[in-house]
Homo-oligomer: A and B are copies of this chain.
Amino acid sequence: MRNMSDIIEQYLKQLIQDSGGEVVEIKRAHIAEKFDCVPSQLNYVIKTRFTNEHGYTVESKRGGGGYIRITKVETHSKTEYLAHLKKLIGDGVSEQNANRLVQSMFENEVITIKEAKIINAAVERETLMLELPFRDTLRASILRRIIDVILYSEE
């Protein structure tokens, strides 16, 4: 793969899978050493690839016996999961976060890849042709409506 951050991302996701698909607990320094990078790179990876929008929760503790725990958000109940996403969207959402949400929905098999592309296209910056902050508001509105539709058509 292309770069260290991507590699570490994959590694962590594998760890989650291997441990039952829900959670993983790591030592920051340990992973950093394994991949021969600075510890703070782990923070970067987490901040860009394991956000709420991506469907993860991260907890950590400093000091002796410290750790970083990454938990995958429960998606067994599609209803709750989608309600959760709607909450994250709120009244406004950036394109970056929107993409993360869509990615998460795809990974959780709520939508297909084609649906993901359609949704992303609908909320792209260029498509929405508006200035901030209206653009983020509109994007949120569109996404919330789409999620509603997905909720309906599941039943």
Q: What residues of chain A have their CB less than 8 Å away from a CB belonging to chain B?
A: 1-3, 5-6, 61, 63-67, 113-115, 117-122, 124, 126-130, 137-138, 141-142, 145-146, 148-150, 152-153
Contact = CB atoms under 8 A, between A and B. Distances in A.
Given A6-B65, A115-B115, A121 B141 contact: no
Contact of A127 (B119, B130, B145, B150): B145
Given A64-B3, A67-B2, A115-B115, A126 B149 contact: no
| Copies of this protein, total | 2
B149 A121 contact: yes
> Which 7 A-B pairs have CB atoms at the shortest separation, nearest pair first?
A3-B65, A2-B65, A121-B149, A121-B145, A122-B122, A127-B145, A117-B149
A127 B115 contact: no
B141 A128 contact: yes
B122 A129 contact: no
Contacts of A137: 129
